[in-house]
Structure 1
């Protein structure tokens, strides 16, 4: 009887990762650690438009993007899509002002995911209420039968 709620909770925990916030991890080589970083939205196959920043920057776009620097990687946690939906890159800027793309991610808000994000928490509350109630009812029913 308690197997179904456990399965539902496991399925439930990993859903809807694409709604945001998004995290883009950008690994680089040790010799690249002092290069300027790039956060941009793709405009064509080989171009993007965005922001150049250094390794001490902690946020971009008025707090819409948080930057975390770790050894050999910088991560961008995107809280809001200030430039709209699309494919975003992170990279490094070399001495010729060329972007060395380290990673990319398609970021979009999906209405279905937004609705599911709200409904899953409602479902979780209902599930957590019903499971103990059903267990209690079955125990009472068993006592009455004996």
Structure 2
């Protein structure tokens, strides 16, 4: 019962919890010295965003966190500053082109982010509730 109340509160936005959206960006060891890129896709082959060094940990006023692993970095976003959409993480090559490592859809609010996952949990429950209701009402008649 507590779980249902928690899901309901999260769905309507009454919870002040912070939800970071993440994207892991693996790269080859030979690219370790290249600058990191975080950007919103503006067309099939273009994006607009941020460039930062491999030692950076925060960007965009603290809304973007970067953690470094051995051969990857992870970008965590509190709220995308360029509105929701498809975002890329990548590396800036020597000839100023972006080597795209990964992409993901990032939401502009935590409520939308939560709903994007919750709907897939609730969707299968709809037919179950419908069947249960039909069976229950037939037994009463």
Deviation track 1:35-63 (CA, whole Å, cap 9, x = no partner) reads: 11100000001000011111010011000
Larger Rg, first or second structure (1 or 2) = 1
Instruction: Give structure 1 regions of 4+ aligned residues with deviation exceeding 6 angstroms.
Output: none
Aligned residues: 103
1:23 corresponds to 2:22 = yes
1:21 Cα deviation (Å)?
A: 1.5
Cross-structure match for 1:113: 115
TM-score (norm 1): 0.63
| 1:43 alignment partner, SS class | strand
Structure 2 Cα separation of the partners of residues 111 and 98 of structure 1: 30
Cross-structure match for 1:88: 87
Structure 2 Cα separation of the partners of residues 76 and 96 of structure 1: 23
| 1:96 alignment partner, SS class | coil
| 2:30 alignment partner, SS class | helix
| 1:24 alignment partner, SS class | strand
1:20 Cα deviation (Å)?
A: 3.9
1:79 Cα deviation (Å)?
A: 1.0
Structure 2 Cα separation of the partners of residues 102 and 111 of structure 1: 22
1:100 Cα deviation (Å)?
A: 0.3
Cross-structure match for 2:41: 42
Structure 1: 5+ residue stretches without partners? 117-146
Structure 1 Cα separation of the partners of residues 63 and 114 of structure 2: 23
Cross-structure match for 1:60: 59
Structure 2: 5+ residue stretches without partners? 12-17, 119-141
